[in-house]
């Protein structure tokens, strides 16, 4: 089956193939670094990471560009309030974003670029638009003339005949003198007390939309394969990107436009005023695992809204531990030699179901269901004594393939949090008594194995008090031991 993706531009699910050989060129809108990223942002970034990983799984070479917007009204305002230079202020949140990405197991992109490093590229593009009659100057600013681009609205399907000014505070509908309320700013005239750059356009700074167009085309050329982001960016940001980019080059901008739906919290829009606004660091501070957050964010297909709840986050961790326990059981148990004819084809069926689900517009929910069906059948076969050595490698291979895309099976949460100085306090806020999903005395797989080895040594020298103490310590950390003829098996609660 071929990979099929929903394209916002066409409004249809289309078969995907790169425009250039085996190379997939992707541009993803990154964060505006005026504060820490929130879980709504990370819902989109996890989707983009699953897309990237699955393309690589299918054998494609991926070249991905992600920007950070480090100059806009919010960054300037917050830097001024903090009494810091703009670059220094945004640097701290860029570094925090990189740490969050590592905690969530997001792969590094090939080009991670910041807007203020590409001012000259933006100025050159604006000059091209001026020369072609798509831009005009007014009171020191430069605007894109929407009526000069007949295809405006083809992405968002918005009919601007009725004049829909704005659509976002970042269109600056009321802040500058424009010939038409629909026009959007390309270059903002310098204001007193704000950061600005000297340029042939006059002193000022770029508008938001021109940043992504200039940086994507610099690194990917045009047209490129995929442009992605959240649905909140379709209008006006992505619509404006298309207009200015295609007006400047006379070529199509991007072939596939992929958008992740909104994240809501307990059925409501996430808002600081409602007290339901969470950053990744907020969740870590409450004792929750980054991999549990990744699991929850990936569990709902990107074309469907995701309702975030703490109950769902706890369930995500329990599901993740079930997978980890299954892999541990597969790795540690001793099985009879040979093959079980009944179970022999089960792994290949699961692998096919996994790939079919992801080929179907990255249906992550169906991909998870395919894997858990295999886990259920595998555990049942082992419980009945029907699992054979011949199936071990094939089932482990399915788990490894799944993890190449979802990146959650290895438990490195605690070690990463310690490395970044973000270790959570003991005790969750609102978590269940079993601590599922929380980092209460959290231990990595390696640390658990070390403690089991210490317990085995204590038992060998008949220091049973120490052996019992280690068992109790592991139990408090949510780890259950089972002594078998084949050795000590463990699993998490």
Residue found under tokens 């638009």:
129
The domain segmentation of the chain, as residue ranges, is 4-260, 280-442
Per-residue DSSP letters for 417-466? Answer: HHHTT-PPPSS-SS--TT-TTB-TT---HHHHHHHHHHHHHHHHTT-HHH
The per-residue pLDDT of the chain, averaged, comes to 91
Q: Indicate if the pLDDT at residue 426 is higher than 50.
A: no
Q: Which CATH number fits domain 280-442: 2.60.40, 1.10.3470, 1.10.287, 1.10.730?
A: 1.10.730
pLDDT of residue 161: 60
Q: Is the dihedral of CA 172, 8, 279, 205 positive or negative?
A: negative
pLDDT of residue 442: 58
Q: Indicate if the pLDDT at residue 289 is higher than 70.
A: yes
Q: Indicate if the pLDDT at residue 440 is higher than 70.
A: no
For residues 135-149, give the mean pLDDT. 97
Two tokens, residue 349: 């069926």
Q: Indicate if the pLDDT at residue 433 is higher than 50.
A: no
pLDDT of residue 250: 98
Q: Identify which of 211, 378, 208, 409 has the alpha carbon closest to the alpha carbon of residue 298.
A: 409
pLDDT of residue 1: 79
Q: Indicate if the pLDDT at residue 441 is higher than 90.
A: no
pLDDT of residue 431: 41
pLDDT per residue as tens digits for the range 35-78: 999 999 999 999 999 999 999 999 999 999 999 999 999 999 99
Rounded to 5 degrees, φ, ψ at 256 are -105, 135
Rounded to 5 degrees, φ, ψ at 195 are -65, 140
pLDDT per residue as tens digits for the range 257-283: 999 999 999 999 998 888 889 999 999
For residues 2-20, give the mean pLDDT. 98
| Helix, coil or strand: residue 242 | helix
Residue 461: count other Cβ atoms within 10 Å of its Cβ.
9
Q: Which CATH number fits domain 4-260: 3.30.499.10, 3.40.50.620, 3.40.50.720, 3.40.640.10?
A: 3.40.50.620
pLDDT of residue 467: 83
For residues 387-413, give the mean pLDDT. 96
Contact 405, 358 (CB under 8 A): yes
Q: Identify which of 213, 206, 259 has the alpha carbon closest to the alpha carbon of residue 233.
A: 259
pLDDT of residue 341: 86
Band (pLDDT 50/70/90 cuts) for residue 447 is: confident
Lowest-confidence region among 118-127, 250-259, 282-291, 428-437: 428-437
Question: What is the C-alpha to C-alpha distance for residues 300 and 294, in angstroms, rounded to an integer?
Answer: 11
pLDDT of residue 274: 86
pLDDT of residue 174: 40
pLDDT per residue as tens digits for the range 201-245: 999 999 999 999 999 999 999 999 999 999 999 999 999 999 999
Q: Indicate if the pLDDT at residue 173 is higher than 60.
A: no
pLDDT of residue 177: 63
pLDDT of residue 138: 96
Two tokens, residue 449: 């194995």
């Amino acid at each position: 089956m071929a990979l099929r993706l929903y394209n916002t531009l066409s409004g249809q699910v289309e078969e995907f193939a790169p425009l250039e050989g085996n190379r997939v060129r992707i541009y993803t809108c990154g964060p505006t670094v005026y504060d820490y990223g929130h879980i709504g942002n990370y819902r989109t970034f996890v989707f983009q990471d699953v897309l990237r990983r699955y393309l690589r799984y299918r054998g494609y070479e991926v070249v991905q560009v992600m920007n950070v917007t480090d100059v806009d009204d919010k960054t300037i305002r917050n830097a001024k309030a903090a009494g810091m230079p703009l670059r220094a202020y945004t640097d701290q949140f860029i570094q925090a974003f990189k740490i969050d990405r590592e905690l969530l197991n997001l792969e590094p992109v090939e080009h991670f670029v910041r807007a203020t490093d590409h001012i000259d590229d933006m100025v050159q593009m604006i000059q091209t638009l001026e020369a072609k009659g798509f831009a005009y100057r007014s009171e020191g600013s430069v605007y894109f003339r929407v009526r000069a681009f007949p295809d405006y609205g083809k992405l968002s399907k918005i009919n601007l005949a009725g004049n829909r000014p704005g659509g976002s505070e970042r269109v600056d509908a009321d802040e500058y003198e424009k010939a038409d309320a629909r026009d959007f700013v390309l270059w903002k005239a310098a204001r007193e007390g704000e950061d600005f750059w000297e340029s042939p356009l006059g002193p000022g700074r770029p508008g938001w939309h021109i940043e992504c167009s200039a940086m994507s085309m610099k690194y990917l050329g045009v047209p490129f394969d995929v442009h992605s982001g959240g649905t909140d960016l379709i209008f006006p940001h992505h619509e404006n990107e298309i207009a200015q980019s295609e007006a400047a080059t006379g070529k199509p901008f991007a072939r596939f436009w992929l958008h992740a739906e909104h994240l809501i919290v307990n059925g409501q829009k996430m808002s600081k005023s409602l007290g339901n606004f969470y950053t990744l660091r907020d969740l870590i501070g409450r004792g929750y695992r980054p991999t549990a957050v990744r699991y929850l964010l990936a569990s709902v297909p990107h074309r469907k809204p995701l309702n975030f709840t703490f109950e769902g986050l706890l369930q995500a961790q329990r599901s993740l531990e079930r997978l980890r326990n299954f892999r541990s059981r597969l790795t540690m148990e001793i099985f009879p030699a040979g093959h079980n004819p009944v179970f022999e084809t089960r792994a290949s069926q699961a692998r096919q179901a996994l790939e079919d689900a992801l080929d179907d517009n990255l249906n992550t929910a169906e991909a998870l269901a395919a894997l858990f069906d295999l886990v259920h059948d595998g555990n049942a076969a082992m419980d009945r004594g029907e699992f054979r050595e011949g199936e071990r490698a094939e089932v482990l291979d399915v788990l490894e393939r799944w993890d190449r895309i979802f990146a959650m099976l290895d438990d490195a949460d605690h070690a990463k949090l310690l490395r970044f100085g973000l270790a959570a306090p003991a005790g969750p806020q609102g978590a269940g008594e079993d601590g599922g999903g929380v980092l209460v005395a959290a231990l990595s797989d390696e640390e658990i194995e070390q403690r089991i080895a210490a317990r085995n040594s204590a038992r060998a020298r008949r220091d049973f008090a120490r052996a019992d103490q280690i068992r109790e310590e592991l139990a408090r950390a949510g780890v259950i031991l089972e002594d078998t003829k084949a050795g000590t098996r463990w699993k998490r609660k």
